[in-house]
Amino acid sequence: MDFFARIAEDKIKEAMARGELSNLPGEGKPLELDDLSHVPEDLRSGYIMLKNAGFVPEEVHLAKETLALRDLIRMSRHDGERASLKKQLSEKQLRLRMLMEQRGISDSSAFTQYENRIRNKIEGESEDV
């Protein structure tokens, strides 16, 4: 064991003896670890810091906006408003696809076909209601 690990271990043991580590939130429960397998190893620490600071990558923000716009389009009662929302949705989807391509995340045609089939089915059911 190296020198710093030994010091850290001693400090932890001292804190436990004083009871400073008792009754902490989540005590006795398993840790909730993030799956960072999709993040390159050399970027993980930066990713964690940004996430803890509340930063959300642009593609995540755009994905949330597209979902919100789809809901608004579905609930819209006016053709003019619906057309405006559809234009906004198209712009957001285009920007999202461009970002994904820049990051090297390809949108496979099989996924796109599946997504379109699901969307058509959902939209078809919502029109019947």
For 53-110, the pLDDT digits (tens) are: 888 778 778 888 998 999 999 999 999 999 999 999 999 888 888 887 777 765 555 5
pLDDT at 43: 78
For 17-51, the pLDDT digits (tens) are: 998 888 888 888 887 777 777 667 887 888 888 88
Q: Of 92, 91, 90, 72, give the one whose Cα is nearest residue 82.
A: 72
Query: Rounded to whole angstroms, how far apart are CA atoms 86 and 71?
Result: 11
> Per-domain residue ranges for the chain?
58-105
pLDDT at 80: 92
pLDDT beyond 70 at 1: no
Neighbours of 50 (CB within 10 A): 13
| Confidence band of 112 (pLDDT split at 50, 70, 90) | low
pLDDT at 71: 92
CB 102 within 8 A of CB 57: no
